[in-house]
Amino acid sequence: MTASPYQALEARFARLGAVREALSVLSWDASTNMPEGGAQSRGEQLATLKVIVHDGLTDPALSDLLAGADGQNDLDSWQRANLAEMRLAVKRAAAMPADLVAAFSKACTECEMTWRKARKQSDFAAVLPAFEKVLGLVRDVGAAKAAVFGKSLYDALLDDYEPGGGTATIDRLFAELAAVLPGMIDRALTLQGKRPAPLAPPGPFPVAAQRALGVTLMERLGFDFGHGRLDISLHPFTGGTPQDVRITTRYDEKDFRQALMGVLHETGHALYELGLPRAWARQPVGDARGMSIHESQSLLIEMQVCRGREFMAFAAPLIRAAFGGEGPAWEAGNLYRLGTRVERGFIRVDADELTYPAHVMLRYRLERALIAGDMALADLPREWNQGMRELLGVVPPNDALGCLQDIHWYDGAWGYFPTYTLGAMNAAQLFQAATAADAAILPGIAAGDFAPLMAWLRANVHGKASSRSTDQIMTEATGRPLETGPYLRHLRARYLED
């Protein structure tokens, strides 16, 4: 029996999906296990596989298959959505010449490896030549896509991470936050200063004990170690595939909370990947729906759930037992106060909920200026420190605590950072809708039963994958597209009233 045009497309995209999965596992390995001497070879491998995917998406035969599939009357709603995502993937690939795909991939691999050394040595100058090359290619990539999609340079790059998003929406939402967050931070710090400081549990905290605690909580949340791993990397991330999810964290024996919250954050990402519909694996419609939804799932778990009182009531005995702790420092109330303490700090991934948006807004402002050519890359450390002084009232003492702290730019991810705060807003809006819809969710969390919450997320977010736009997912789940109100209500309740 001859395959229909749509069936032929599914077969082609399934093969490309398998190659993309191989790329993801190789990238994970590069950040966890690969020796430094393998960087050049790995860079060639990654670039070659990316060109294979690109060649598959730019095959002229796809045009006829897409046209034929458009004329089919036997496609259901998911197949129609898959066809739309296929067409978008083809259009994106056609905007990029193969030699640019390869050059960009190799430059990013080289820069990331250089960044690792530069970060350890707090030496921005050491990574600057490789970084300049990446930024030049980022502009080339953005320009190529902008010409095809009729977008600005920045919006063309943003589209890779937030399909359908744009600076107009981000600027409006961020302006609403910027109008109130500084005052909220000041009030929260004032209130905090009137209370006794929470007690710091005494360390050290052995890495083995931290890992065991993380594994226990991951499993309670629903992570399936038959389909995933927990490892160590310089910068925590989630990689792998929806059936083989690889998450990483980093440990500090002086403070167990950094690694624990990193594990819980990445577990949120992993649960989303594990919850994507298996029937649509390796098809565009079966992919995660952009990074603001992805980040909403990690931040919903880390911030909305795991920094809440209900979770700490359940987790405190496990934390105490993991480190053999005794006394008031290990009580749930004290651990909750530690986890919700507001502080003007240097590091984004360690920031509290109130100050976190300032870290993101700074990166958003800087990357837009760098992409537009309004700022020299060599001036980044100075501009970063000035922005930190303006937005958070602190100045990093070195580049490792400043502009070298995040991997994203050095690895070629430009246009990514706004999705963190968009994700935090999505998370608040989704969690409020979930707890309003199912009264069993909060009591379940307090008892260590996350099944009610996960069932709601599976039905309203995970299971929809890319069958709908971000706005459609949010509207169907919460009754409205993304807005700042639920996020600000959450922050006020936790930090100004709690």
Q: Which residues are catalytic?
A: 266
Q: What is the DSSP letter of 231?
A: E
- 350's CB contacts (< 8 A; 6+ apart) are 258
Residue with tokens 């009754």: 479
* Distance of alpha carbon 338 from the chain centroid: 24
In this structure, are residues 341 and 307 in contact, taking their beta carbons and an 8 Å threshold? no
**Which of 477, 481, 478, 472 is closest to 84 using CA atoms?**
472
Q: What angle do CA 53, 54, 59 make, to 5 degrees?
A: 100
**Which of 220, 227, 292 is closest to 263 using CA atoms?**
220
Record the tokens describing residue 156, joined without a space.
Answer: 């063309």
Quote the CA–CA distance of 273 and 242 in Å, as a whole number. Answer: 5
The phi-psi region of residue 478 (left if phi > 0; otherwise alpha if psi is between -120 and 50; otherwise beta) is alpha
Quote the CA–CA distance of 335 and 319 in Å, as a whole number. Answer: 9
* Distance of alpha carbon 498 from the chain centroid: 28
3-state SS class at 53? helix
In this structure, is the dihedral angle defined by the CA atoms of residues 292, 174, 156 and 467, taken in order, positive or negative? positive
In this structure, are residues 113 and 127 in contact, taking their beta carbons and an 8 Å threshold? no
DSSP structure string for 86-138? HHHHHHHHHTS-HHHHHHHHHHHHHHHHHHHHHHHHT-HHHHHHHHHHHHHHH
In this structure, are residues 87 and 124 in contact, taking their beta carbons and an 8 Å threshold? no
Quote the CA–CA distance of 87 and 92 in Å, as a whole number. Answer: 9
Q: What is the DSSP letter of 198?
A: P
- Pairing mode of beta strands 244-249, 238-241: antiparallel
Quote the CA–CA distance of 445 and 443 in Å, as a whole number. Answer: 5
Quote the CA–CA distance of 425 and 436 in Å, as a whole number. Answer: 17
Long-range contacts, stretch 440-447, CB < 8 angstroms, 24+ apart: 442/310, 443/310, 445/305, 445/308, 445/310, 445/311, 445/314, 446/310, 446/311, 446/313, 446/314, 447/314
- 135's CB contacts (< 8 A; 6+ apart) are 370, 371, 377, 409, 414
